[in-house]
Structure 1
């Protein structure tokens, strides 16, 4: 990825952070215009290439791309450890254990997030590439200005008839990156696969449900401040927003999106929420609300939403997920034993 390329799904800014650099977020359906690069390369090696002839393989023998992939196999490709699971390919410069752990975590998270969103995903082809960055410098060089204030970024590139690539870049030098940053970004990738034309409020609002309680409470605080100051968007405008607002309105946008999604989840669950988000774009907001929720119009929903804010606070969707823990000090010499024992 070229230095400075902007990603369509950056993590939301820190609540009320006025020092954020300007950016132009894009939806996944526009990435072909901003990223004219094929699938991810790991240090010059295509992630889809078979392993090098002399490179050690941990977990399975070197095999063609069409072979059956075991639950998680780890290969050494030049300087990279590459862990391949059913739906993910994780690249790490640090350790086989880190790549293995992240691939296993991604598979578990994918299943649980999809269930929380109300659908069962099909197998991903191509796999989602996950790059572990051991420093902020490496991460920022890849994702550009957004890397100064985020821990992870996701990109889905579309091609005619489907998805050409899925990619998540994440800072692995943060201790809790598997639970603090990965769920939000992976939710974006899942939603892009399931519903390619979700409106911004739903895409961002749903992913925000999987942030930490502390972060959600800060966004909830920003929402209430924006309502008090008059900076909040009218609900009808939020639901039809097609571009991200100006930087000074990000706190209101993220806070509103998360809150409206929580309200709709309480009214009808995740399946109906996604149906509404899709239907509103072809039938209009008011018609979609009448058909799916029995509400008169956006004004009626606004009344219910404002009522839901009285005395309530942000609560994240609970994930049963806990990161898999590989043995301490795992190295390539004994990683094969672990993989064979699985």
Structure 2
């Protein structure tokens, strides 16, 4: 892993958002994120605006020489750029304009998000209607196109926020299902064949090496393949901590001891309410004790996040959830035991 791929030092409480925010106002979202998350702000996503601003649509808009459109069944690849592709790029441009406005002079870490190749392949149909995941050649094309699209995207963000230390989050919520052969066919009557774990790992490794900066892999599903992600070069893994079981202990322990950061999704992403911030991270402390890990590593290796995106929350709750994450992260640093 290159020096550029080492996770940057955080200068405040380790807390960030997963990506999505409520509402349709890009400037308000950027103001909230940059104002709340002083150590690790991120580029907000606003899926409430329309198709193209959703998680899949935004990343499809990044692809180079691959184009997608919205069909009644969801996103499908097409032969040429259409309204939906143009709209996705337009929404992203609006979000970057807002981010640039609120990050003038910023010289710290800045997180961007994109859907990873396996979740893209599991969520988008080919021309004939089957999931792209069913065609290994299509998966390779998606991964290659995504790598080039991300390269161009990162160049633009560096131009707009020249002092930022960029971090890329790859959203791979479908990866466990891809590996287990649990992704449904387009008809929904069958399941697609499981992808070989070595192929999945190599595809991710190639992408991580292509972007050549610290990569966080976010997966809010049970059965996250932690060892596979570490071997693929992930500098951090982002998890919904409520979905972990004791079967995940070995993987978590090996990751932390190996220097991998844990983005711990512990703050509820929807209302009704929030507990005391210290209580929000009590499960992380319990995990640390169970694994016999050094309490001093808590503040160094854990970044506190909401359990998933905040698109389903109210704007007021989203602000509280991000501030709550910061206070919870500070409590880990102040009281690691």
Is TM-score (shorter-chain normalized) higher than 0.5? no
TM-score category, normalised to shorter length? under 0.3
Structure 2 length-normalised TM: 0.28
Which protein shows a greater Rg? 1
